[in-house]
């Protein structure tokens, strides 16, 4: 079956409540170990091996077998490679015995590869290609189940990292630049981290504050929360709490953006099970229902550099779309796990979503208040990418665990009935709205 590109994407205002609100549920999650990089030789630590690990964990969590899965949504959009991730020259490489005889299974995982190599995935009727990254992938899964394309969807998100440094290959390593880069890279502006820094500088000017005053406390809090996942990169490899002093002593990447404002690239895979609310009733865990999902967002830049006004308008719009389709108001949202892959997204999303009543310019005071998981304003209780590494899964896993009441050490002491989760870099509108109660 073929649908038009982006058929599943909910990216318009004024369309009312999502017609499938509460009719789809997440019933399982899984997460592989989180390594800094794939070493190029360990076959049990490839993205393919980790995809099977995470998928099995998610299925076990839901009480399902691979044979129960009829929809598989993999995102083979590799973060590794010349223009994406690490720039080391690693391909073409000498390959290995099947199934590791190409990049597929090593540094990307397509739906075809996983179907062929994961035992029991024999009943797939929906296995699309061209799947977006996890933010919109989660919405796509919800929509696919809602529309009956499949009954049990397995979402697999692969985050690859190899030797070498991020995005220093390709054109960035050359003498000439073309396309949009002729307006940016000529001066050294080479991506979202740079534009985000500029936007945050504008934020500090506009609201009369400083980078460290706004961001140090929220970054530190994320690291504390991240250490409360048993699987996070920092828990496994660097189990030390970050302090405000550590943050302020850290080196600059793009002054005033510091090292700890950037998420740590890792090699890991996460998996999630989506199914109908009806089938979810009989599964192992308490269902976490999908109230809405949104996608798209951002927009053509007015000029060379995005401005604070643009960024705020994009995220404001994402919030309006999400609240409209979910039927929630800001005061209804208990768990808030926005995207933090660069820390300056956090003040913007806090204020646009008006979480716990935050208004424009409030983030500094908010983040300097009690945002710990056991306090009244448990912001980013999942620790985000900054707290666990760039798996892009912590936001979703935490939302699910908090709503199940199974977040362990991280369980909030406030009400935990609704959650917003996101992988929404820049002006992206990729947010997911969850609830453990659809009776009201």
Residues 317-376 that bind other proteins (CB under 8 A): none
Stretch that binds other proteins, among 185-193, 313-321, 342-350, 355-363 (CB under 8 A): 185-193
Return d(Cα 322, Cα 396) in angstroms, integer. Answer: 16
If DSSP codes are grouped into helix, strand and coil, which group holds residue 178?
coil
Does 91 bind other proteins (CB under 8 A)? Our answer is no
Kindly tell me which residue out of 9, 167, 364, 392 binds other proteins, with binding defined by CB under 8 A. Answer: 167
Does 174 bind other proteins (CB under 8 A)? Our answer is yes
Does 88 bind other proteins (CB under 8 A)? Our answer is no
Cβ proximity to other proteins: between 271 and 308 the closer is 308
Does 184 bind other proteins (CB under 8 A)? Our answer is yes
Kindly tell me which residue out of 91, 133, 177, 438 binds other proteins, with binding defined by CB under 8 A. Answer: 177
Cβ proximity to other proteins: between 88 and 124 the closer is 88
Stretch that binds other proteins, among 37-45, 48-56, 285-293, 299-307 (CB under 8 A): 299-307
Which residues lie below 8 Å from residue 435, measured CB to CB, with a gap of 6+?
22, 288, 289, 291, 403, 417, 418, 419
Cβ proximity to other proteins: between 342 and 433 the closer is 342
Site string for other proteins, 230-259 (x = CB under 8 A): ---------------------xxxxxxx--
Does 209 bind other proteins (CB under 8 A)? Our answer is no
Return d(Cα 171, Cα 177) in angstroms, integer. Answer: 6
Angle subtended at Cα 29 by Cα 24 and Cα 30, rounded to the nearest 5 degrees: 155
Does 208 bind other proteins (CB under 8 A)? Our answer is no
Do 400 and 387 form a contact (C-beta atoms < 8 A)?
no
Distance of CA 399 to the CA centre of its chain: 12
Cβ proximity to other proteins: between 29 and 194 the closer is 194
CB of 47 to other proteins, least distance (A): 24
CB of 248 to other proteins, least distance (A): 15
Does 163 bind other proteins (CB under 8 A)? Our answer is no
Kindly tell me which residue out of 88, 91, 124, 305 binds other proteins, with binding defined by CB under 8 A. Answer: 305
Cβ proximity to other proteins: between 128 and 265 the closer is 265
Does 201 bind other proteins (CB under 8 A)? Our answer is yes
Pairing of the two strands 71-74 and 152-159: parallel
Return d(Cα 143, Cα 358) in angstroms, integer. Answer: 31
Distance of CA 110 to the CA centre of its chain: 19
Kindly tell me which residue out of 77, 202, 212, 417 binds other proteins, with binding defined by CB under 8 A. Answer: 202
CB of 185 to other proteins, least distance (A): 5
DSSP assignment of 94-156 equals ---STTSSSSBTTTB--HHHHHHHSTT----SB--SS---HHHHHHHHHHHHHTTS-SEEEEE
Does 173 bind other proteins (CB under 8 A)? Our answer is yes
Does 181 bind other proteins (CB under 8 A)? Our answer is yes
Cβ proximity to other proteins: between 236 and 305 the closer is 305
Sign of the CA dihedral with 61 first, then 67, 73, and 76 last = positive
DSSP assignment of 276-335 equals EHHHHTTSSSPPEEEEEEE--B----SSSS--HHHHHHHHHHHHHHHHHHHT--GGG--E
CB of 7 to other proteins, least distance (A): 26
Return d(Cα 274, Cα 154) in angstroms, integer. Answer: 7
If DSSP codes are grouped into helix, strand and coil, which group holds residue 402?
helix
Stretch that binds other proteins, among 52-60, 241-249, 298-306, 378-386 (CB under 8 A): 298-306
Q: Which residues bind to other proteins, rule: CB under 8 A?
A: 166-168, 171-191, 194, 197-198, 201-202, 205, 251-257, 300, 302-305, 307
């Amino acid at each position: 079956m073929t649908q038009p590109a982006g058929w599943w994407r909910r990216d318009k205002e004024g369309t009312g409540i999502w017609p499938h609100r509460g009719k789809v549920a997440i019933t399982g999650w899984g997460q592989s170990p989180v390594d800094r990089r794939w070493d190029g030789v360990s076959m049990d630590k490839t993205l393919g091996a980790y995809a099977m690990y995470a998928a099995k964990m998610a299925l076990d969590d839901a009480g399902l077998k691979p044979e129960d899965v009829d929809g598989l949504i993999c995102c083979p959009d590799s973060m590794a490679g010349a223009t994406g991730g690490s720039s080391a020259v690693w391909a073409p490489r000498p390959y290995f015995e099947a199934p590791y005889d190409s990049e597929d299974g090593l540094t990307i995982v397509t739906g075809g590869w996983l179907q062929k190599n994961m035992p029991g995935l024999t009943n797939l009727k929906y296995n699309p290609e061209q799947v977006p990254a996890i933010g919109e992938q989660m919405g796509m899964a919800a929509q696919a189940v809602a529309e009956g394309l499949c009954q049990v969807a397995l979402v697999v998100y692969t985050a690859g990292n190899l030797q070498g440094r991020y995005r220093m290959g390709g054109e960035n390593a050359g003498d000439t630049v073309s396309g949009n880069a002729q307006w940016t890279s000529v001066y050294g502006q080479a991506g979202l981290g740079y534009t985000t820094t500029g936007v945050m500088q504008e934020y500090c000017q506009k609201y009369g504050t400083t980078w460290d005053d706004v961001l140090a406390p929220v970054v530190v809090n994320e690291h504390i929360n991240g250490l409360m996942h048993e699987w996070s990169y920092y828990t496994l490899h660097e189990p030390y709490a970050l302090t405000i002093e550590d943050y302020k002593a850290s080196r600059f990447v793009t002054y005033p953006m510091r090292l700890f404002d950037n998420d740590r690239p890792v090699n890991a895979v996460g998996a999630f099970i989506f199914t109908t609310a009806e089938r979810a009733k009989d599964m192992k865990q308490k269902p976490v229902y999908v109230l809405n999902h949104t996608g798209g967002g951002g927009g053509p830049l007015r000029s060379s550099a995005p401005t604070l006004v643009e960024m705020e308008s994009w995220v404001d719009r994402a919030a309006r779309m999400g609240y409209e389709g979910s039927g929630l108001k800001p005061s209804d949202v208990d768990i808030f796990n926005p995207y933090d892959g660069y820390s300056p997204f956090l003040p913007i999303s806090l204020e646009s979503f008006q979480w716990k009543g935050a208004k424009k310019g409030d983030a500094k005071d908010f983040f300097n208040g009690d945002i710990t998981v056991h306090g009244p304003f448990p912001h980013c209780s999942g620790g985000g990418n900054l707290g666990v590494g760039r798996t892009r899964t912590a936001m979703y896993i935490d939302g699910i665990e908090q709503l199940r009441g199974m977040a362990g050490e991280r369980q909030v002491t406030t009400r935990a009935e609704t959650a917003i989760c996101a992988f929404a870099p820049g002006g992206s509108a990729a947010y997911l709205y969850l609830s453990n109660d659809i009776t009201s």
